[in-house]
């Protein structure tokens, strides 16, 4: 039985995810580096903004931070209690998950890598997809808490498997993004109406989350809303390519895409949304995707 | 007012598409190189199996053949009547459409490139997507006949634009197919359960028609049903790459994918379904996608 | 016996190539669109600056123009004499060579595609490499004239074969250029001294004409002399990729390189030397290759 | 003053490299896992076959092993003496060099990464290229011993820099190999004579060590002599790609090539020479490079 849960890292995703916990649990601690955010969350949702040392005494501790490095640093500073489960919702590095599992095992603490997808709207509506790696017993233990914000919840394998699936998911999205940018600049160069072409493709075999959502909602309308930063996508494609390397497999399309996203990232304006990767292609082709 | 329509080329798609025409038009001619197929169609659907010379006297003439070469050869042998519209549903070559438009214009005949997507099931249910290039007046004239089998019907641009959209659609599908093969062999190498990973990705930003339909219905179940031949996908990715070349644009992901699909095609068993392209990756990685 | 030779197109290469002809032949006509150049050549080297109509009456007619289009246009305007051989030193299109061979055959005129390599220094010293496609009898006939400026002279195959070898040569150079830019930015990012690394590589299996000549003489010294324009390299890589497409072969590295060179070309300053393609990588990496 | 040198790892390269040491030094220890090889070396060249524990007491200790893992394992088992320099001629991993430098520093021992190139013929003739990373003082100390087998000897940077240059060198060779396979299958498909094409390219800007040596001496003559194993080239391209990843740079051509070499490696016969990578292209194209 879960008596208490904690949520560490109240960014755009974490703030909304943590908001669902008080509906299911009496004791919900929140903590954030910028502590004012934690206090605001407590005031808004009835959670308890507490010191980090206290937060990590919960039965289930969620974290949602930029990268695995922040998670490792945090865990290194705290004293956890035996029997608890750390559920890391960061889009992290599989190798880091394996390391943390081993490190925490000695203290009888479980670690699950549990990255989420579904963006802020999914966090708000508790309809996130959660892909989880780690021990089955830990998964069973944490599941009731994860259900507070997740809809599709899958235990995909051993430690690191959740991070691996997330990295590959984001890589596949990056591939679709590059391919769509290439395909649509080509169509426009041939005088094709892009909105009508998009309707055809979205009713056909070439469709993807990129053609269904990202092109119409971010690119063709020139909105490029800042919801998922391009450097984070570059990081995720890097994690995916590292998985390819560790498995010593050939993956030419993924390897090329990682380079292209990194090129787009290194030449993008600071704080750009990931969808601005198409601007590299616009620069190359002198064609605007609109 | 359309008095008569004809359908030339009763393959897996054409046979089903032509079946809807008698519901809307009194006079429906059908013709097929293997004429027994036309007679069978007439018996089954109440169409009229006629000589090619008679079929092309219809107001609207549909064709659905393997490549633009067959269409060009056919048109070269027949005498068309002024005022008719030739609607070519082949997945053809944009340059060929432009040439045929010019050639037929002198005889006061319109040519529309109108490739379809939606597979045999879409042809059967009259829910095909039709992407059309050509003159707006010709499009308006032919529209009632196209509506017999099409659901999403878009006039996407000048002559060749329909073929261009279809080629790019199939190229985007090919990109997703290669990327998915790379991503899923990598995940399996890391011990991830592929069916669960697929459920996560299909609820996330990495999804595509490939992850939603092709992987579960053709690859992971090892069915590889022969519905769309790999050489035809190779042809379509070639058409798309030629569009890139004509526009003199950089398109690294598309260019790479065309080479990979061609490599898969040249080493595949004869008459393989396009989805067997993943077997090249399975050979490389010694991992079976199941 | 060759009684007269002509040279059409007195650019940086042609001007120097034509200069060797009077040493071997009594009658040497020269012609250039900007006719002052022809008159200057006549004054300097003892050639005869004549009308185009007269120039093309020579036994052997050389041409050296920017692209095959200019050659085709020129040939279309003139009346040639039976028995002559047109030797085209342009870096042209194989398909164009095949067409011109057929077109001129009816007039009993031979056409050889005979592109050269070796840059202006090779033209000056008569040490060019000449790769020749076309009929063996025509090759034998023209050989004494070609020897005026060529050192390595190879009859590599049927009409178009010379252009094909030149296109592939330039493509291989483009591949080496991109790879070197990638490898050397990476080495510099790791603190390696580039000049010393270059000496090692030039004594090892990774060396190429790019590492031996282009990096030290054009890039690392930041000279980027304007001797071979980037748009022409982009054109040549396009010709090579078209050869790949016509042969329906997979060529992932060539296909990718063509896109990268085209991207570099489309974003380069006007009139840039081909070696400035590395600046795209410098922009991406924020590393200067020096 | 160097009193004694040792050579550990008497493979095809090491055996020949160690043979030059007795010409310059009185005390030369050799050691090899298969000790019979060491005894044979002693008999043939007047070196001393000794226990590993004694060998590592030399002033300068050379190692030449398959990968950095073997070097690390070896160093972990032995007790070295302060003031000695370990010169590792393995084609190793830069990160490993950095780690070993730190680890040995505490014992006042220097470590240099000093991979070589020039193949067995270069080892035999003492004309190897040696690219060295590490402290300048250590480099100066070891230089007289390195000169016994090296001709071009460059101190290219900090620890790991030598390994980095070697990895990039081999990657550039791998790129040239793939590009040449693609270019030459394409030329042959167009009926071009490959030997004549090769002569043209080797006199032009497209030439590389691959076109000058590997194609004529290994591929076109169908010799494929087993001198440098394909798995080792795959390993080296992997090291180079890891350098790209660590520097977070885009390197599309290198990334693609690494995947292609790995695909060739995973499908090659066991113990294949690296040059058999072209057989993947031959399989794809059904064209033999001869």
Strand C48-49, strand A116-117: pairing: unpaired
- Whole-number mean pLDDT of chain C? 97
Residue C32: both structure tokens together: 């250039």
The answer to whether residue C83 scores a pLDDT higher than 90 is yes
Q: What residue of A is the nearest CA neighbor of B118?
A: A204
CA separation for the pair A250, A256 (Å, rounded): 11
> Is C166 one of the catalytic residues?
yes
Query: What's chain A's Rg over C-alpha atoms?
Result: 20
CA separation for the pair C175, C182 (Å, rounded): 11
CATH number of C4-158: 3.40.50.720
B256–D267 C-beta distance less than 8 A: no
- Mean pLDDT over residues D46-72, rounded? 97
pLDDT of residue B178: 98
Handedness of CA B15, B17, B20, B21 (dihedral sign): negative
Three-state SS annotation for chain D: CCCEEEEECCCHHHHHHHCCHHHCCCEEEEECCCHHHHHHHHHHHCCEECCHHHHCCCCEEEECCCCHHHHHHHHHHCCCCCCCEEEECCCCCHHHHHHHHHHHHCCCCEEEECCEECHHHHHHHCCEEEEEECCHHHHHHHHHHHCCCEEEEEEEECCCHHHHHHHHHHHHHHHHHHHHHHHHHHHHHCCCCHHHHHHHHCCCCCCEHHHHHHHHHHHCCCCCCCCCEHHHHHHHHHHHHHHHHHCCCCCHHHHHHHHHHHHHHHHCCCCCEHHHHHHHHHHHHCCCCC
D192–C156 C-beta distance less than 8 A: yes
User: Which chain A positions have a beta carbon within 8 Å of B170's beta carbon?
Assistant: 205-206
Question: Which of C233, C243, C247 lies closest to C276 in space, CA to CA?
Answer: C233
CA separation for the pair B176, B166 (Å, rounded): 15
- Neighbouring chains to D with at least 3 Cβ pairs closer than 8 Å: A, B, C
- Neighbouring chains to C with at least 3 Cβ pairs closer than 8 Å: A, B, D
Strand B60-63, strand B4-8: pairing: parallel
- Neighbouring chains to A with at least 3 Cβ pairs closer than 8 Å: B, C, D
The answer to whether A212 touches A218, Cβ cutoff 8 Å, is: no
CATH superfamily ID and name for D4-157: NAD(P)-binding Rossmann-like Domain (3.40.50.720)
For residue D210, CA distances in Å to B241, C187, D216 come to 29, 22, 9
Question: Which of C104, C191, C114, C121 lies closest to C157 in space, CA to CA?
Answer: C114
pLDDT tens digits for D268-279?
999 899 999 999
φ, ψ for residue D278 (rounded to 5)?
-65, -20
- Whole-number mean pLDDT of chain D? 97
Helices B230-246 and C230-246 meet at what angle, rounded to 10?
Answer: 160
Query: Which residue is catalytic, options A141, A166, A235, A279?
Result: A166
CA distance A119 to chain B (A): 9
CA separation for the pair C91, D204 (Å, rounded): 13
SS3 B42: helix
Q: Give, for all 290 residues of chain B, the pLDDT tens digit.
A: 899 999 999 999 999 999 999 999 999 999 999 999 999 999 999 999 999 999 999 999 999 999 999 999 999 999 999 999 999 999 999 999 999 999 999 999 999 999 999 989 999 999 999 999 999 999 999 999 999 999 999 999 999 999 999 999 999 999 999 999 999 999 999 999 999 999 999 999 999 999 999 999 999 999 999 989 999 999 999 999 999 999 999 999 999 999 999 999 999 999 899 999 999 999 999 999 99
D63 membership: H or E segment, kind and range: strand D60-63
CA separation for the pair D49, C60 (Å, rounded): 72
The answer to whether A179 touches B254, Cβ cutoff 8 Å, is: yes
A178–B168 C-beta distance less than 8 A: no
C206–D172 C-beta distance less than 8 A: yes
CA distance C50 to chain D (A): 33
Task: Among D156, D193, D201, select the one facing C172 at the smallest CB separation.
Answer: D201
CA distance A45 to chain D (A): 40
- Mean pLDDT over residues C244-267, rounded? 97
User: Which chain B positions have a beta carbon within 8 Å of C277's beta carbon?
Assistant: none
The answer to whether D154 touches D130, Cβ cutoff 8 Å, is: yes
Query: Which residue is catalytic, options B37, B98, B166, B279?
Result: B166
Task: Among B94, B206, B247, select the one facing A173 at the smallest CB separation.
Answer: B206
Q: Give the CB-side neighbour count of residue B189, counting CA atoms within 13 A.
A: 24
Question: Which of A27, A40, A100 lies closest to A65 in space, CA to CA?
Answer: A100
Burial of C43 (0-12, 13-18, 19+ CB in 10 A): exposed
User: Which chain A positions have a beta carbon within 8 Å of B165's beta carbon?
Assistant: 187, 192, 197, 200-201
Residues of A within an 8 Å Cβ radius of D:
234, 238, 241-242, 245, 248-252, 255-256, 258-260, 262-263, 266
The answer to whether residue C1 scores a pLDDT higher than 90 is no
Q: What residue of D is the nearest CA neighbor of C203?
A: D129
Question: What is the b/e burial string over B218-242, where b = at least 16 CB atoms within 10 angstroms of the residue's CB?
Answer: bbbeeeeeeebbbbebbbbbbbbbb
B285–D266 C-beta distance less than 8 A: yes
Strand B128-133, strand B116-117: pairing: antiparallel
pLDDT of residue B1: 81
For residue C102, CA distances in Å to A208, C83, C111 come to 48, 15, 9
pLDDT tens digits for C146-165?
999 999 999 999 999 999 99
DSSP state of A210: I
All residue ranges of chain A with pLDDT < 70 are none
The answer to whether residue C243 scores a pLDDT higher than 90 is yes
Question: Which of C228, C235, C207 lies closest to C123 in space, CA to CA?
Answer: C228
Question: What is the b/e burial string over B156-186, where b = at least 16 CB atoms within 10 angstroms of the residue's CB?
Answer: bbbbbbbbbbbbbbbbbbbbbbbbbbbbbbb
Residue with tokens 């059967």: B124
Strand D110-113, strand D85-88: pairing: parallel
pLDDT tens digits for D20-58?
999 999 999 999 999 999 999 999 999 999 999 999 999
DSSP state of B229: B
CATH class, domain D164-285, is mainly alpha
Residue with tokens 């600056």: C49
D151–C164 C-beta distance less than 8 A: no
The answer to whether C29 touches C5, Cβ cutoff 8 Å, is: yes
C247 membership: H or E segment, kind and range: none
Confidence category of residue D1, pLDDT binned at 50, 70, 90: confident
Residues of D within an 8 Å Cβ radius of B:
252, 256, 262-263, 266-267, 283-286
Residue with tokens 């058409």: B239
CA separation for the pair D221, D213 (Å, rounded): 11
Task: Among B263, B267, B284, select the one facing D266 at the smallest CB separation.
Answer: B284
Shared fold status for C4-158 and C164-285: no
Angle at D245 between CA A156 and CA D95, to 5 degrees: 100
A252–C263 C-beta distance less than 8 A: no
Angle at A266 between CA A261 and CA A268, to 5 degrees: 90
The answer to whether residue C69 scores a pLDDT higher than 90 is yes
> What is the residue extent of each domain of chain B?
4-157, 164-285
């Amino acid at each position: 039985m879960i008596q208490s849960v904690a949520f560490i890292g109240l960014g755009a995703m974490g703030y909304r995810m943590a908001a669902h916990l008080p509906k299911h649990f009496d004791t919900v601690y929140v903590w954030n580096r910028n502590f004012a955010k934690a206090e605001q969350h407590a005031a808004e949702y009835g959670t308890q903004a507490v010191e980090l040392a206290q937060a990590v005494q919960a039965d289930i501790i969620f974290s949602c931070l930029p990268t695995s490095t922040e998670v490792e640093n945090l865990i290194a500073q705290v004293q956890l209690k035996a029997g608890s489960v750390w559920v890391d919702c960061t889009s992290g590095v599989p190798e880091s998950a394996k390391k943390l599992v081993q490190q925490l095992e000695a203290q009888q603490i479980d670690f699950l890598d549990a990255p989420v997808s579904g963006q802020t709207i999914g966090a708000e509506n508790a309809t996130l997809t959660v892909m989880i790696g780690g021990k089955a017993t830990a998964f069973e233990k944490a599941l009731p808490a994860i259900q507070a914000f997740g809809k599709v919840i899958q235990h995909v394998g051993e430690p690191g498997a959740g991070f691996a699936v997330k990295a590959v998911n984001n890589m596949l999205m990056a591939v679709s993004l590059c391919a769509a940018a290439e395909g649509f600049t080509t169509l426009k160069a041939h005088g094709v109406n892009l909105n009508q072409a998009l309707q055809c493709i979205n009713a056909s075999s070439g469709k993807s989350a990129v053609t269904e959502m990202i092109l119409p909602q971010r690119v063709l309308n020139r909105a490029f809303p800042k919801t998922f930063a391009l450097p984070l996508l570059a990081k995720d494609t890097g994690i995916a390519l590292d998985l390819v390397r560790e498995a010593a497999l050939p993956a030419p399309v993924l390897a090329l895409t990682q380079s292209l996203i990194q090129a787009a990232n290194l030449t993008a304006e600071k704080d750009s949304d990931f969808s601005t990767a198409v601007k590299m292609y616009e620069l190359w082709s002198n064609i605007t995707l609109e």
